[in-house]
Every structure is written in structure tokens, then in C-alpha cells.
Chains A and B, each alone.
Chain A
Amino acid sequence: MMLELDKLSAHYGAVEVFSDVSLRIGAGEKVALLGRNGAGKTTLVQALFNLGPRLSGTIRLQGEAVQDWPTHRIARRGMALVPQGRGLFPTLSVSENLRLATLRQPRGAWTLEKIFETFPRLAERRHASSSALSGGERQLLAIGRALLTQAPLLVLDEASEGLAPMMAEEIIVQHVGKLAEAGLTVLLAEQNAALALRLCPRALVLAGRRLVFDGPSEALLADRSLLQEHLGV
């Protein structure tokens, strides 16, 4: 198993964001994590990296219980993050943003050259400050940076946010789709359910502090009342 959550709960102070979330994601799966605004998707993503909320329960990453580990050790164990808002370093150039990710794991399938080949638009702007990029370029940079950690599991939080529909489609369905075909495991936290479900054959739905759905995307799409109630689609 790539990732296993067992009875995971997260709290901010006395406020419980979600509880009792259990799920398993196998190697090579593409899974969408859906939920309305404020449902707790970002909190769950941060919990995976031990960033932010207080946790109980267990998180297993490639078989190892990591919930008490510091973030950098969890990352080295094999999980990369494309955070909500991209999390780029504005005082660094494009290539510095990328090279930062290679410091821990200088060798692997992904190299700086390969990122520039895969995303030629970044190559053109390698010396620019990351704050000078367009929305789409910023997202590609965040993805490239995550890939360079060589982690087999990629977690993307709100990857379509702030992008024009065409650009969101290109990045999520085409680029991330291609990465998944090459074997990457993908967990995609998204408000835009329609888009996420075009990529992912499996869906999770967070609502009312619970995981209310875990199953094939087709089954979710067929369940009109669930879509209406928890996703507002």
C-alpha cells in the first residue's frame, strides 16, 4: 500500500475538523479528494505531512507509520506536495525553486533537464523570479518542484484554483494524467469535482467532518443526491 489512514482525526484547538477517516491508496492509483469549501481537504492534506493540525490515528506511508515524524522525514519517505496557493518561494528564481527540491535526493528519474523538457515553458523562464510567472506557469513550477523530490506519491491541493478553465484542464487532465500513466500515485484534493473526476477513477468525499464516500467515480456521478448534498453539483 502506498498510503493508509486509520481512524485519522484532526483538531485545531478544541475544534474538530474531521474524525475517523480511514482509507487505503494503492501504488499507481489516481484518487480525487472532494468536498465543499471548508470541508477539510487542505487540513487532511496538511495532516499527511504533519503540518498544522493536531492529529490522532495513524498514517502509514509505504508501510511505515509516519504520523509523528517531522515533515522532512515524511517527505523523504516518498510523498511530495503541490500545496494550495502553490507555495512557491517568491524571492527565488524558477531554477532555484526547482534545485531546492533536488538537494536531498540529487539522483533519480527526475532531473532538472527532464523537468524543463516536460514543461518547456519553465525552461524559457528559468532565470525569472517565480513571482513573475503566470498562473499556469506557477502551477507547473510547483508540480516540477514536487516531482524533483523523486517521491512516488504526489499530493495536489486545489490545483485548478485561480486558473482559467482551459489551463486547469490542460494541467490536471493532460500533464498530471501523463505523470500518472508513467506510474505516479496521485491524490488530488479539488473543489472542482467535475474536473477531478475526469482524471481520477476513484473519489473520496469529505463532508460534515466525515469521509462520506469512498468508491468509483462512476458510482459517485450516478448518485445525484450525494452530489447535490455534499458537493453542490
Chain B
Amino acid sequence: MMGYAAIQVLNALSFSALLLLTGLGLSVVLSLMNFVNLAHGSFYLLGSYIAVHWLASGAPWWMAFPVAFLATALAGALLERFPLRAFYARPHLMQVLLTYGLSVIFADLMRWGFGAQILSPELPEMLQGVVFLFDMPFPLYRLFIIGAGFAMALALWLLFDRTMWGAVVRAAVSDRGIVETLGIDTRRLFAAVFMLSAGLGGLSGALGAGMLAAYPGLDEEVLILALITVVVGGLGSFGGTVLSALVVGFALTFSKVWFPEFANLAAFSAMIALLLARPNGLVAPPLRQL
């Protein structure tokens, strides 16, 4: 029993790590640019497919992750130039329509390019196999997801909180115009942040492929969970996003354990109740933060 619980906690943590990386990418774009990107799930799935193919290619396995990050960041950069940039100042509903439309197009393109079957990556030898906890087996790869995911989140926190580049981003969140009066080109800053966001989506997809596989429709599933993570956390709060990634990860994992038939119903009802109780999310920033 003890072992079973420990395994589920680790399952929840690995799921939370993926939600955290995906959610942070979505959150930073939302709080800095006030832009809702419903195509974020497409970056995730693209990252998953890239990892699956990279790991099958025989090239050094660890490079799958930086490659997925860079490739999706590049895709994000192109998309930001056209057409997203023109929509930053538009109402959210227009952004939603545009990016939802794009996500449908990308879903078709990916189905055409990568096929409709469920693809699981061939994991490198050193990450295959299981470890035993209280005599229960747990996939080693999921420990890797937990470690890599939370390490990456820590690196992002350092980037935003401890570097001058992060200070510029935080300043632009509170007042873009004043940042411009200091001679800083915020359009380039926005483009860089969007690239980072897309790259994080792709990186979490690459990490997640070994756990969730890659298949058409996964983009939408991930998107909705990332949106929930961002909203439950309190829009644009870093600590809040961490907390809510854990809440959502644990809620979904344990409702699958306890109410397998009603897992989604149970998890989403809990989240709706939580949002009714705390309309501003778990951690409501006094000011919009990252």
C-alpha cells in the first residue's frame, strides 16, 4: 500500500513537471504580452514528434531535448513575426480565434507529416527500466522527467528573477511604455519571450513523449491542462504556476486512481470549485508578476 501510494505520488510529480514547463511558457506570454496563445499545445506536440524521431535516428539521445527546444523556438519566432505580432493589441476573443485556427491547421499538418498512429519514443538505454520503491517498480524515465522538469523550472526562475534580462521582462510587464523610454526595444523583447515560450512548449513535449507518447489530439489535451494550470495558479504568478502545476498534476493522477471512470469529471469539478473559492487563483499577485 505504501509502495503504491509512493508510486502514484511520483507519477503525479512527473505529470506536474510537464504541466509546469508547458504552463510557464503560456503564462509568461499571457502576463507580458497579454496574449492568449491557444496554439501552445501544438508546440508541445511538435516537440514530442521531434523527440520520437530524434531518438530513433541514432544521434546522441540527450540532444533530442535541446533540438526540440530550438526547433519549436524557431517555429515560434516565425509565427510571432506573422501573424501573431499584429494581434497583441487586439481583444482576447480575436486572439483566441486566430490561435485556435492556427492550432487546427498545425494539427492537420502534423497528422500529415507524422501520421495518425500513437508513437512512443525508443528511450536511451540508460533511461530504460525501472527502479524499485517499497518493492514496487517505477519507470526510471519518469524520475528523469521530474529531475529535468523541475531543474528547468528553477533555471527559468533564476533567469526571470536574478538576471538583468529578467528584470527587463518584469519591468515590461508592469509598464512597457516606460521601458521603451529607457531606450529598450520591447518589440524585440516580446519576440524573444515568445520564442522562449514556444521552446518551453517543445521541450516539455520532448520530455513528455516518453510518458504520454505522441498522437493527434494530444496537443489539445495538453493545451487545456496548461490553461487550467495557468488560471488556477493566478494569472502570471511564477510561484502560483508551480503550485497549481502540482495541484493539477496530483488531482488528475489521483482521480484516475480513485475514480477511474470519472477521472476527468472529478478532477475538473475540483478545479471549478477551487476557482469559485479563489477567483484570482491560488496565488493572486498584488501586481501582475511573472
A interface vs B, CB < 8 Å?
Answer: 49, 51-52, 70-72, 75-76, 80-81, 83, 87, 89-92, 96-97, 99-101, 103-105, 145, 149
Contacts and interface: CB of A to CB of B under 8 A. Distances in A.
A109 to B, nearest CB: 16
Interface of B: 164, 167-168, 170-171, 173-175, 177-187, 287, 289
A89 B181 contact: no
A149 B170 contact: no
A144 to B, nearest CB: 12
A104 B182 contact: yes
Contacts of B184: 72, 100, 103-104
Nearest to B186: A72
B154 to A, nearest CB: 19
Nearest to B187: A70
Contact of A89 (B170, B185, B187): B170
A103 B175 contact: no
Contacts of B287: 90-91
A103 B164 contact: yes
A76 B287 CA distance: 29
A121 B187 CA distance: 34
Given A70-B185, A91-B174, A103 B180 contact: no
Contacts of A97: 171
Contacts of A91: 170-171, 173-174, 287, 289
Chain B CB within 10 Å, residue with most, of A70, A72, A87: A72
A19 B174 CA distance: 31
A91 B170 CA distance: 7
22 contacts: A49-B180, A49-B181, A51-B177, A51-B181, A52-B177, A70-B185, A70-B187, A72-B180, A75-B181, A75-B183, A80-B181, A87-B178, A89-B170, A89-B174, A90-B174, A90-B287, A91-B287, A92-B171, A103-B168, A103-B182, A103-B183, A149-B181
